[in-house]
Amino acid sequence: MTDAASSQPFTDLTPHAVLDALALTGLHGDGRLLQLNSYENRVFQVGLEDGGFVVAKFYRPGRWSDAQILEEHSFALELAAAEVPAVAPLVLQAESPAQSLRCLGTPATLAVLGRTRFAVSPRRAGRAPELDDPETLEWIGRFIGRLHTVGSQCPFTHRRTIDAATLGWAPREWLLEQGTVSPGERAAWADVSQRALQIAERRLRDVDGLHMLRLHGDCHPGNLLWTPEGPHFVDLDDAAMGPAIQDLWMLLPGDARASGAALASLLEGYETFCRFDRREIALIEPLRTLRMLHHSAWLAQRWDDPAFPAAFSWFGTDNYWSQQIAQLREQVEAMA
């Protein structure tokens, strides 16, 4: 379970602060600054004096350790070296006399300025993929298969593992301890979340010898951009150890029949590069259950950040928890 974020962690991250931080690495902005859509971190497209653009990601304090961030960067650089189209961070260097800035990593990809940590990458454009097109899904499947071929070569040692303890039981315990669940729904939510997690954990255990590998970890359509040359990932912030199906199931439509056809297209491409254990298909609903519980805790832990109440005003209401109870009951039925 990640640490709860400090209250209003980005209050001092003004446009001037962003540009000043980048200037310490020799990247001098020309005043063009656009904040991109990101809730967990703060991400900016920055125009440079030479006419180019970079994307600067300022990490939320307290979420990841330096070692975890550098593992993310190392994985991205490894993918780039294998010609897998994932956006990798730039190598940074503190400009003298910028003694207050440290650049960490080998190569140095993480800049540390007091409590502020940031990375810089090239700007990569793209559009949302057409996930109702079988050929597009097959191409995405090949892409993920190539990513997993690299991911299978060695494990993460610092980043988290996608399992019931980390993304299920820990968030559930935190939500109950903090009194986040509305009083009228607490008993029902506690009961159904426990039943759902028990089944999810059992289903994960049932796949004997489940292969865990380095994954993108948060492979939803918003993190996958399409270009004429094909797909590429723009964010490995949630890279983790987990089963291969984790990077496939979030690309599937909600309808069961359409989902089966879409998965067949994804696997047609995936297995061009990587063997897939068909037993993992049974893990889709358990993994969906873990994501639901983790997402509730993620929202609650970020509530002091003004961006969250503005974007998720419905969170924490009686209606929200009633819907969560209903959805978890559906998960129990689907998994059982």
Report the percentage of the chain scoring pLDDT > 90: 86
- 3 counts as catalytic: no
| Predicted local distance difference test score (pLDDT) of residue 271 | 98
Percentage of the chain modeled with pLDDT above 70: 96
Judge whether 251 and 151 are in contact, CB under 8 Å. no
Q: What is the pLDDT of residue 1?
A: 43
User: Would you state the pLDDT for residue 2?
Assistant: 45
Residue 218 a catalytic site member: yes
What's the confidence (pLDDT) of residue 228?
Answer: 87
**Structure tokens belonging to residue 203:** 């289903």
pLDDT at 307: 92
- Mean pLDDT along residues 130-158: 96
Per-residue pLDDT of 228-255, as tens digits, reads 888 888 889 999 999 999 999 999 998 7
Catalytic-labelled residue, pool 163, 218, 237, 305: 218
- What are 287-333's pLDDT values in tens digits? 999 999 999 999 999 999 999 999 999 999 999 999 999 999 999 99
pLDDT at 125: 85
State the amino acid at position 190 in one-letter form: A
Over 70: is that where the pLDDT of 161 sits? yes
Query: 52-86 pLDDT, tens per residue?
Result: 999 999 999 999 999 999 999 999 999 999 999 98
Given a cut of 90, is residue 98 above it in pLDDT? no
Contact 154, 86 (CB under 8 A): no
**What pLDDT score was predicted for residue 230?**
87
What pLDDT does residue 266 have? 98
The predicted pLDDT at position 293 comes to: 98
| Residue 106: other Cβ atoms inside 10 A | 8
Q: Which of 163, 235, 247, 305 is catalytic?
A: 235
The pLDDT of residue 7 is 56
Per-residue model confidence as pLDDT tens digits over 171-224: 999 999 999 999 999 999 999 999 999 999 999 999 999 999 999 999 999 889
For the segment 254-270, the average pLDDT, to the nearest whole number, is 91
Reply yes or no on whether the pLDDT at 5 is more than 60.
no
**pLDDT value for 99:** 66
Nearest to 97 by CA among 43, 26, 36, 35: 26
Helices (H), the chain: 15-23, 66-81, 134-151, 164, 170-177, 183-206, 246-249, 256-270, 284-301, 307-311, 318-335
Tokens for 83?
């010609």
Residue 222: the pLDDT is 87
DSSP one-letter string for 139-185? HHHHHHHHHHHHHTTS--SSS-B-SHIIIIIHHHHHHHHTT-S-HHH
**Mean pLDDT over the full length of the chain:** 94
